[in-house]
Chains A and B, each alone.
Chain A
């Protein structure tokens, strides 16, 4: 039996009738049109589907949509403010942290969660923070550097 799901996505209050077995990823993409969040492996290995649920990173492909009722979801589409990219997004773009781009939404979300917890992470802390996100293009080095650069910029701005 479908149930009413009400939640906040990127600051917007949204609702939908949702079958209990559906995942948050499917509802974000198919019901709410938030296609920035990607389906990679669909079994929690790759991290392309990463979103924040009440500020914590979650693989949305393996999280039941109805468990998100009343919670605040942040997708990659909630990182930019109006037309201004988030410092992480800019650093990824300018530093070559993006090649094909498919892992990027999940990488950005995991990086945002890491910097919220640790504004000045070591390289090892960055690699640990991104350990649930696979990238098959970059070799990770430009991604790690982009996070370091964004972190420094965000610290300087506060």
Chain B
């Protein structure tokens, strides 16, 4: 039962409440927090701090080549903004398939990361881009945490209860690189990834793969890198055989679980396909070829 509610308009005020009221939890759009309570998975917190009116968290800019996003940046903004679509395409792929138009308009990147779902869409792209978040608490200032180590398990993060995610900083990818995010989905909207993969691939001058980063969705308690798949790609010719080898390597190393949406065996089998197609899309984009956003729709029926 929620006893206390505050809707501060400044970051200082929000941090002060989170500092003195240990039961206080932030809410931005409510698309995870309130839905979880409606589904009976988790009651609403005893104290709620609505952060959606804090202008200091609503900024977004490209600064020194990096994408700098306030925690309140919505999925809709990420899906529609030309700089994100061209420079951080995997993040646009992921944001464009979150929920429905209503989810994307109210759901935020800060909420998506701090909710720490193993099936979160934006996390794998942020991991391959090497993004960091800034966590801030009253009296302790800010600290920087890589997105890759923010989640510690389903619904759990390394953030202290009084820390608020204020900013996400996404470095610019290398020139000659391309990125993509693809999920296996049973329906187009209001869907949770059965499995998913993000890839960031950099091509060498001779067209071979110079560098690759791959992260996987919904095959582990958190979003994880797939070093086996990355090793399979580096130095290889950027062709279908290499894409399939990366998929097989990722699937061979993954240990997904059985749940209501898929068996572990099906997840592993499909992960091989999803990784191969994600790498294929990232390579095509690195070459300047046009792959539509979201790449998940393009992925259906591809030969790779």
Contacts and interface: CB of A to CB of B under 8 A. Distances in A.
Interface string B196-217: 0000000000000000000000
A132 B38 contact: no
Nearest to B52: A67
B156 to A, nearest CB: 22
B142 interface: no
Interface in A58-108: 58-59, 61-64, 66-67, 69
B27 A62 contact: no
A132 B188 CA distance: 10
Interface in B58-91: none
B189 interface: yes
Contact of A131 (B7, B31, B34, B101): B101
B253 interface: no
Given A20-B5, A131-B190, A64 B30 contact: yes
Given A21-B2, A66-B5, A129-B101, 18 more contacts: A19-B2, A20-B2, A21-B48, A43-B38, A43-B39, A44-B34, A44-B103, A47-B100, A50-B102, A56-B105, A58-B105, A59-B31, A62-B31, A64-B27, A66-B7, A67-B50, A110-B101, A132-B99
12 contacts: A1-B4, A19-B2, A20-B5, A21-B44, A45-B190, A56-B105, A56-B106, A62-B30, A63-B30, A64-B5, A64-B48, A132-B190
Interface of B: 1-5, 7, 27, 29-31, 34-35, 37-39, 44, 48, 50, 52, 99-103, 105-106, 188-190
